[in-house]
Structure 1
């Protein structure tokens, strides 16, 4: 009787090894929302961002799975509308339970999405918008928001740094009057002394002007070395036509969308300079950034991403996903609070550039990640 009992126990233990072993459930899904314009006025850039995000996740998931996680991307088409952006963000948070969101495509919607993120305490990686994200104890609207798009201060400091490297000192500013662009004048004037830059003059133009030859000539007469344009892209054709009769070096910061073929139609002696992120540099010295750029270029090689603006758009979403993944590689606790804590002390070697994020700087892009590059025929 005892032998039979012991034999039954032994058989039970053997079978329990096979049948009572906990089933492997696979990596834990980390839901990430993407709020992008896929059918509105900026659908080309929005779809480029979608490609960049998907390619980044495909590349990163094998590494994340080794840690027990995987990214699942949930996409909302905003059509470039504020209402659809907010409804989509609410659905992603309440119904889908996303841990973080990325977007939007348009800079003018970045503040709206940022406000939603802070109110609902939802981690956000902005892919547009130039407003500085510098959390302070009395700032209640920057805790949960990060960005991979360079803020206005970084772009201006990088511009001045590049200008000085070119051996130039005198900068003129051509700005669209009565517009959002005028606020940048304060930043431009504030940083100029730090780099030994002299601003010769600030010249304005109206959005309905059909010529700006007089402004260009005046800046040229002041012995201006290079002119920085701050205005909407709809004025570019007028600007380039006026430039034909007043050849002078002209520069654009990264947040101004420009069509390189259009520039080449009006180009004279390589006078136009574009501020480019690291992914568009001819040479990249940092091995970590370079490896990331090679992976990105291989990933999009068979896609429709060809133009400068689309490459930058895809790069931004790639880096937004990459920054989130970096937090997990740095052993972040898989909660929104854990991600927040880790991101506040993260260095990420992206393809836009190198980001050193701190509690008081939620962008942290190295100004040397951006350079001025001439557009050549």
Structure 2
């Protein structure tokens, strides 16, 4: 179900139902002894720890450190200890590629996690593909399709809330509420062009009339022209795609129209929630970690979210939405890699890649349910979004 976000709920998400977050104690007995400590499994993490997105990078780093501590306390991965190797990108493309090269050249580094800056996700993906090292993206909206001509993905996976699963959630809800036609707003760049095709392509499946997409400049805070064009054409709801920084401009432009504005979770920020408060009907397909209240016990991700919140209770009310998603995605990335290493035939990059791709069951994390496959390297189950 699409979740209607409110600023107060998003910022103080931890405070509701905290008493319910107790998790079962570890199984009785002594955890397996970790052997070969000198041959720890290294995971490289490329985050902005000093630039404009440093708060997200710091949240990601702290979350992964806690995840690694849990895995190692349970005996590591096949009795080998996990170790995170953080690298500060400073939010710079040049620094990102330099740090990535340093990590790739270390044969003990079996995989990469990152980045928190969505603008850098495509470059890191291309680098990982060229250098044949598994990468778990924690930001970005691009579909990761191994069979796609000219942009095939072999080594890159994702735990970020992608565009396609979000579209399915939105369109299912639009269909249920009989909101039709739908007006798309997309960023004026190559990713926006691709997004407009996806937005139009899913329309017939849900019996929705998708109007021609209107484009907006990502550095333009005024998108009223596109909004008004769609309103004149009869749009009963708007769905938007663009970088996170464009969200505030969209919210200001849609004020007082009374229309729903649906955006992927990757566009949600504290600034957007503030701009939308009381005047915009803002929807998103929310990862379970963003639930304002306790996740229902029947939800497949309920235990993971409860454990995450319990182990991060000292951060209650301190994370912004974007910091929370960076922390949650990094947490899931680490656990997805740990599961892959446990199933891998050997401790090699190729073995890890194959193990992640060949998983025979969903990984239920805090960002949703994921089952990467040879056809989709995200494998996010839309039904696990809220």
Q: What TM-score range do you get, normalising by the shorter chain?
A: 0.7 to 0.9
CA offsets 1:48-90 (integer angstroms, 9 cap, x no match): 2112211211222222437312210001001111221122112
Quickly say closer, same or farther: Cα 1:335–1:184, change in 2 above 3 A: same
Quickly say closer, same or farther: Cα 1:139–1:64, change in 2 above 3 A: farther
- Deviation of residue 110 (structure 1)? 1.8
1:206-285 maps to which residues of 2 (within 5 A)?
206=217, 211-259=222-270, 263-264=273-274, 266-268=276-278, 271-281=281-291, 282=293, 283-284=295-296
Give yes or no for contact 1:278–1:351 (8 Å, CA) kept in 2: yes
Moved more, 316-325 or 274-283: 274-283
- Residues 1:344 and 2:380 aligned together: no
Counterpart residue number, 2:313: 301
1:328, 1:88 → 2: CA distance?
A: 23
Quickly say closer, same or farther: Cα 1:191–1:265, change in 2 above 3 A: closer
Q: Which has the higher contact order (CA 8 A, sep 6+)?
A: 2
Secondary structure at the counterpart of residue 199 of structure 1: coil
- Deviation of residue 34 (structure 1)? 0.3
Secondary structure at the counterpart of residue 125 of structure 1: strand
Quickly say closer, same or farther: Cα 1:182–1:258, change in 2 above 3 A: farther
- Deviation of residue 178 (structure 1)? 5.3
- Residues 1:292 and 2:333 aligned together: no
Counterpart residue number, 2:61: 50
Give yes or no for contact 2:145–2:152 (8 Å, CA) kept in 1: no
Larger radius of gyration: 1
* Number of equivalent positions: 347
1:325, 1:300 → 2: CA distance?
A: 20
Counterpart residue number, 2:127: 116
1:164, 1:132 → 2: CA distance?
A: 24
Instruction: State the TM-score, normalizing by the size of structure 2.
Output: 0.80
Counterpart residue number, 1:353: 368
Give yes or no for contact 1:171–1:226 (8 Å, CA) kept in 2: yes
Counterpart residue number, 2:104: 93
Moved more, 237-246 or 91-100: 237-246
Moved more, 274-283 or 345-354: 274-283
Give yes or no for contact 2:256–2:279 (8 Å, CA) kept in 1: no
1:72-221 maps to which residues of 2 (within 5 A)?
72-95=83-106, 97-136=108-147, 141-177=152-188, 180-206=191-217, 211-221=222-232
Counterpart residue number, 1:20: none
Secondary structure at the counterpart of residue 285 of structure 2: strand
- Residues 1:37 and 2:48 aligned together: yes
1:216, 1:39 → 2: CA distance?
A: 36
Give yes or no for contact 1:29–1:71 (8 Å, CA) kept in 2: yes
Counterpart residue number, 2:382: 367
Secondary structure at the counterpart of residue 371 of structure 2: strand
2:372, 2:157 → 1: CA distance?
A: 9
1:119, 1:235 → 2: CA distance?
A: 31
CA offsets 1:221-251 (integer angstroms, 9 cap, x no match): 4442211123445554444344333222112
